[in-house]
Amino acid sequence: YHTALALAYAGADVILACRDLKRCEAARDKMAEALTSAGKTAQGLEARELDLSSLASVRRFGAEFRASARPLQLLCLNAGVMAIPQYTESKDGFEMQFATNHLGHFALAKELEPILEASAPARVVTVSSVAHSGPAMEVENLPPPKDSYGDWSAYQQSK
């Protein structure tokens, strides 16, 4: 939220891409109010649906963005889910935190790569968590298996 608000405050067009469109629109409206109160325009704020845990949703978002023929100078990969108490799988069959925090970000960057290249200079920024510095990554257990799932360890591995 705050990263997007700061970018909009600096004059960037910002697309908020969220799995819950109603909450996304509420965040956009709150940002628009803050920008207007600061004497800035909120014209470049947009709310779009994107579920990073679903590769179909990522592909759909990428196709729609490519069809818009808009440039893209910054892709900020900041979404995530954290410490889901029970083992949960995405629609694609991956552990949910790994699907959302890792695979979804990678898939979105790959979907938008041609636009980023055409919009050069462009950047991809991946926001992580201090949790990534936890126990060493268990590459042989990615994504974490259901029988040894731990909410925080799965979160750390996804970062």
Six token digits for residue 139: 């590459």
- Is residue 30 within 8 A of residue 22, CB to CB? The reply is no
Six token digits for residue 156: 């750390």
Is 155 assigned a catalytic role?
Answer: yes
Cis peptide before 143 (omega within 30 of 0): yes
**Nearest 5 degrees, angle CA 104-CA 64-CA 62?**
25
d(CA 120, CA 136) in angstroms, rounded, equals 35
Residue with tokens 């014209």: 43
The one catalytic residue among 9, 87, 149, 155? 155
* Residues taking part in catalysis: 155
